[in-house]
Amino acid sequence: MSGKNFDQTSLEYEKVSSAQQLISMLVDMFNLLKGRNNRKIFAIGISCIGPVDVHKGSIANPPNFFGIRDVPICGILQQETGLPCFIINDANA
């Protein structure tokens, strides 16, 4: 199976001060993209500074990332949106 990226948005990390704020911003970004597209959304993809754990779908312990560490971001976003979520290190994206 393959897919095509029809829309995307990005987040300025300097505006993030906690894991909860990051999650809220990502949910808001999802809702923005969902609202401006008539296409069915099948999944969420996140590119994040590393290290990340792609198998657990989590942000591991990036240095200089405002103390955000060990956040199961994909599980949280799957619960919030009902969609599968995938994460990859931004250097590999």
**Mind listing the pLDDT tens digit for each residue in 39-54?**
888 899 898 888 999 9
The residue among 70 and 66 whose pLDDT is bigger is: 70
Q: If you average pLDDT over residues 4-16, what whole number do you get?
A: 76
Phi, psi at residue 6, to the nearest 5°?
-95, -20
Residue 2 has pLDDT above 80, yes or no: no
Phi, psi at residue 12, to the nearest 5°?
-85, 115
Place of tokens 């990051």: 22
- Determine the pLDDT at residue 70: 93
Helices (H) and strands (E) counted in the chain, each on its own, are 2, 4
Residue 6 has pLDDT above 90, yes or no: no
d(CA 5, CA 40): 12
